[in-house]
Structure 1
Amino acid sequence: MNKKAMAAAVSMILAGGAHAAQQERPNVIVIIADDMGYSDISPFGGEIPTPNLQAMAEQGMRMSQYYTSPMSAPARSMLLTGNSNQQAGMGGMWWYDSTIGKEGYELRLTDRVTTMAERFKDAGYNTLMAGKWHLGFVPGATPKDRGFNHAFAFMGGGTSHFNDAIPLGTVEAFHTYYTRDGERVSLPDDFYSSEAYARQMNSWIKATPKEQPVFAWLAFTAPHDPCRRRTSGLSASKASMSRVTPRSIASASPA
């Protein structure tokens, strides 16, 4: 999708409420669940209840014909820009001898593409981002550089969901650090990724002037490995998951 097509697509989103009230512009929230299967949530047939997502799906729009990459960074680059991941600069997940220096494998968002955040910002939206970025950490490719007014961002690809955020070697090698509006931040002792992302996003939305619409990019690291969660509320989750029994799994068709 080129820049003109992106502009047209965003214009259609912005005009979505025109039939109800010409002056209203809808708030837009994009929620990303990292490495989640298509039918893992109840709006798409999942057996484990996800009532809040179910309510959002019923009140919003469900898109079931979107084709994307099966990998993390390439997939989010496609969703954020409306382009192929190579055009966006995310042709892969790591630097290899065969791809270093080749167009499409910069492993950061390039100036060949425009992001939704940039278009919404141009339209007067308060553009907000919380969660996993994984689209570049150099100047020109950070959330602040790519259209977000505010961003609480995990810059890397995968990490602990708690405050021990050094999973794969050194911090610098794998960029397992957090920034808030471009500045590195430390994590509190009670940090848990999903709660922290949602709390920060809620805070920014509430602080937005009532007359200004919001574009929110909420990129959870869950259910990306390592699969860890708080122990509180675990019994309720187990009760829901117990409906997916070993027998039902064993009888599933291998096809």
Structure 2
Amino acid sequence: MTMKSVVLCMIVLVTSLACAAERPNIVIIMSDDSGYTDLGCYGGEIDTPNLDALAAQGMRLSNFYSNGRCSPTRASLMSGLECAKVGFGGGSLGDWPREMPYPAHRGRLPYEIPLLPELLKVAGYHTMMSGKWHLGGSLMKDSSVRQDEWKKTHEGWELTDAEIQSDFNALPSQRGFDEYFGLYGAQDDFFALPGQPHRIMDGNKPAKLDYSQSYAMHCYVDKPGGRSSKNHGKTGKAFYDTDGVTDRAIEMIEGASGTDKPPFLMYVAYRAPHKPLQAPEELVQKYLPRFQELTKVASNRAAGLKANGLFPQSAEAHRRWIPNVTDKAFRLQLAIHAAMMEKVDENVGRVIDALKASGEFDSSLIIYLSDNGCASHVDGFMNTPYVGSKALVWEGGTKTHFMAVWPDHIKPGSISNNQSWVGDVAPTCLEVAGVEYPDSFRGQQLRGLDGRSMLKTLMGETMAPMEALFFNDKGQQSVIYQGRWKLLIEPGWYLQTVKATGIAYELYDLEKDPAETKNLADSDLAMVQRLAKMCETWKQDSGIVDYAEIIKVRPKDPF
């Protein structure tokens, strides 16, 4: 090799190292079923000092949208595509009993669509995940028992070798994550005692859990002998999922840190405060007194959101239904939800401390969000001042809190009212990592991303909203047009709406009425017809199957 060649190689090497040094680590932290105003920095009464401190160091978004459900949101987060294009349209979920024989509702990520960890891994990132996957896949490849279970939940389907391999290929360790710890599916008990069965995985093998911490366990029981009640009232050493997911995430961060290491992606997906409602007893007792005067709590949340500059001062909050004052069960569920959120906050603080201790915090883009609004068992209460809950297409179901921190890049304490969507996260991460979305992947031509980078938003610039943002969930349709007009078609729970005659429309001007308090459908029929036509066109283009046909395949799906 000539001296000129040696010098050229050294220049390329130094340039590559410099580029690697400029690329930030990417840390995505997601909670599950958290209410829009659960956080102190979004006006809530739950103690969230770590998330509040994070918000003070970065930017909060007031108009960030999820897809309204667990799996559809996660699908768009990982792919940057509308959820129907990756098998999670119409409220589909990544569980065998919910899978459908339609591409838009398949309930499993297609192997031919690249995911964020796969693209970052090819670009030199070390990719790690700790927490809930819920995007399909299984280990039936080497288990006849699991194959028999699949047949029972897929009556009339053919289990081929290709299907078995496709299910294996859908798991996180096969979809780009170098390290994985967590739950493949939707839910399981949060508390696990030594000797009790669990479903936590480490890569493609059952995980060995750490039972070194002691807890007084509160597990909500809606009826004697009910599901997930076996550990209620017990005290002793146990694994608690929110703590355990963080323990492993910290181990991953510590192993990936150092000036001689490549940048990393760390995806932490907590299951809290999703059901089953389970939390340390002392925290449940701490929050019970806070949820006695619910009218006051709701009013304070709305006022707190306004005080934080995240809701227009002149806008009206949606009036909440408040249950009977003697409804202790409802208040108990709110208290456990709050306790689980405080544990999320505590553990986010531990992740941030680990980043700082390892010297990686200053070179990390950190994103925190929820997968949707709070769920129906708390009647959407935690989404105040918005109406609706997870799986409903009102603002309370689809809008979520969102914050981002990137030292020396994102202005501390800033707020943006730009409209953003969960499908924008992947394009944003690719842009900061300097990674181009490919034209083809695994032999298939790609059509490009549906999401768009929101880096300009995070840098404090104004971005116009997307022309249209669509939602679809079990017979419900919705579109937000030009960031202002929102049309809902047949909103609500299917078993209730299907009994009503005709088609229900709701039209709102979100600029004047962000909490959807004044239905304008009757006063602007032309706008209703225009947006309804857009919804129908999108539905057909996306391959969304009418829900009446879906329940012929899965009769228990609406229940």
Q: TM-score when scaled to structure 2? A: 0.37
Distance 2:117 2:49 in 1: 28
- How much has 1:143 moved relative to structure 2? 0.8
Given the superposition, is the C-alpha separation of residues 110 and 64 from structure 1 closer, same or farther in structure 2, using an over 3 Å criterion?
farther
- How far, CA to CA, are the matches of 1:56 and 1:250 in structure 2? 24
Matching of residues 144-155 of structure 1 within 5 Å = 144-155=173-184
Shift in Å at residue 187 of structure 1? Answer: 3.6
Q: Once the 2 structures are TM-superposed, how far is the Cα of residue 204 of structure 1 from its aligned partner?
A: 0.8
Q: Is 1:200 aligned with 2:248? A: yes
Between 1:150-159 and 1:177-186, the stretch displaced more is 177-186
Counterpart CA distance in 2 for 1:219 and 1:181 is: 15
Aligned-pair CA distance for 1:73 = 0.9
Decide which of 157, 160, 170 is 1:141's aligned counterpart. 170
Pairing 1:225–2:275 present: yes
The one-letter amino acid paired with 1:85 is C
Letter in structure 2 aligned against 1:204: M
Q: Find the residue that maps to 1:62 and give its secondary structure.
A: strand
The sequence identity of aligned pairs, in percent, is 31
Name the CA shift for 1:62/1:82 in 2 (closer, same or farther; >3 Å). farther
The one-character-per-residue Cα deviations of 1:123-155 (angstroms, maximum 9, x if unpaired) are 222211001111112211111111111000201
Counterpart for residue 238 of structure 1: 287
Distance 2:281 2:202 in 1: 27
| 2:199 corresponds to which of 157, 177, 182 | 177
Q: Is 1:158–2:224 an aligned residue pair?
A: no
**3-state SS of paired residue (1:216):** strand
State how far apart, in whole Å, the 2-side matches of 1:247 and 1:89 are: 40
Counterpart CA distance in 2 for 1:218 and 1:206 is 14
Asked if 2 retains the 8 angstrom alpha-carbon contact of 1:89 and 1:106, the reply is yes
Compute the displacement of 1:24 (Å).
2.2
Letter in 2 for 1:30: I
| Alignment partners' CA distance in 1, 2:298 and 2:252 | 46
Distance 1:106 1:200, change over 3 A: same
Corresponding residue of 2:427: none
Change (3 A) 1:217 1:122: same
5+ residue gaps, structure 2, are 1-17, 138-166, 212-237, 300-317, 321-516, 518-559
Paired AA for residue 65 in structure 2 = Y
CA distance in 2, matches of 1:107, 1:250: 36
Name the structure where strand makes up a greater proportion of residues.
2
Greater fraction helix: 2
- Equivalent residue of 1:144, what SS? helix
Partner of 1:110: 110
**Superposed displacement of residue 250, structure 1:** 7.1
Q: Distance in 2 between matches of 1:29 and 1:244?
A: 37
- Cα shift readout 1:31-80 (whole Å, capped 9, x = no counterpart): 11111122211232223231111222232443444332211111111112
Tell me: CA distance 1:185–1:95, structure 2 relative to 1, closer, same or farther (3 Å).
Answer: closer
Q: Deviations over 1:168-199 (max 9, x none)?
A: xxx9xxxx722112112254542100000011
Unpaired segments of 5 or more residues in structure 1? 1-17, 165-170
1:28–1:216 contact (8 Å) kept in structure 2: yes
With over 3 angstroms needed to count, the CA separation of the structure-2 counterparts of 1:65 and 1:123, relative to structure 1, is farther
Runs of 4+ aligned residues of structure 1 deviating over 4 Å after TM superposition are 94-97, 232-235, 249-252
Counterpart of 1:7 in structure 2 is: none
Distance across 1 between alignment mates of 2:36 and 2:298: 20
Q: Tell me if structure 2 keeps the 8 A contact 1:163–1:188.
A: no
* Farther-moved stretch of structure 1 (147-156 vs 242-251): 242-251
Question: Which of the numbers 87, 90, 111 marks the counterpart of 2:88?
Answer: 90
How many aligned positions are there? Answer: 224
